[in-house]
Amino acid sequence: MPKFAANLTMLFNEVPFLERFALARKAGFDAVEFLFPYAFAASEIRRRLDDNGLKLVLHNLPAGNWDAGERGIACLPDRSDEFRSGVAQAIEYAQALGVGQLNCLVGKAPAGVDDATLRKTLVANLLYAAGQFDRAGLKLLVEPINRYDIPGFYLNRSDQTLQLLDEVGAANAFLQYDIYHMQRSEGELAATMQKHLARIAHIQLADNPGRNEPGSGEIHYAFLFAHLDRIGYSGWIGCEYKPATTTEAGLGWLARARA
């Protein structure tokens, strides 16, 4: 049976962030993930994890000014120093929180910069991050995002991301496969996950359209969960969806998946 982690950026968001850990445990989750921990002291987050017997399975590197619409800075030629500072900060939090993998949102391609420059910048930054993570015993994850939700995002497809990782050439760098984003970008969900299973370190889910809970849209999640079991996926699946009403009201899918 797949292992599910509550994404606390998206779920239980009717209450303050630090109160969501207890709600995740009450709902039956053994693990959590979230976008960013940096607005809080690592000790505060660690206490919530420990108090509720939860494992943290993922958070992201700093991604620039999120509130202003930035979605990562790894491909931006004038932000490499900031990116490298963010790598150090992410490692510090990861070690304090006991998480073994961190996701890098590479960012939106800026206007007026040629692709060769963006690519060179991104490869160099990912190579730097992978080296620093390797010394810290961490995996580096890179996630493609569909162009409808985030127009201009530099990576949109799994094959495109794997080609980038080939160019980086780091043994600890993996694909983060978000089922929702890849349904919108490319389809072929089951075949792609099976083909690239060894290079996928983390999976996330939401249904389409709407990015709501599984069972609300077109994606056949009962099939995909059984498929992931058949092909031997042993990682976590992060529940990064927007509840259609409340988190608790929409958790019927979780009970069915565990039945």
Give me the active site residues, please. 143, 240
Q: Concatenate the DSSP letters of all residues of the chain into one string.
A: --EEEEETTTTTTTS-GGGHHHHHHHTT-SEEE-S--TTS-HHHHHHHHHHTT-EEEEEEPP-S-GGGT--B-TT-GGGHHHHHHHHHHHHHHHHHHT--EEEE-B-BPPTT--HHHHHHHHHHHHHHHHHHHHHHT-EEEE----TTTSTTBS---HHHHHHHHHHHT-TTEEEEEEHHHHHHHT--HHHHHHHTGGGEEEEEE--TTTS-STTSSS--HHHHHHHHHHHT--SEEEE----SS-TGGGTHHHHHHH-
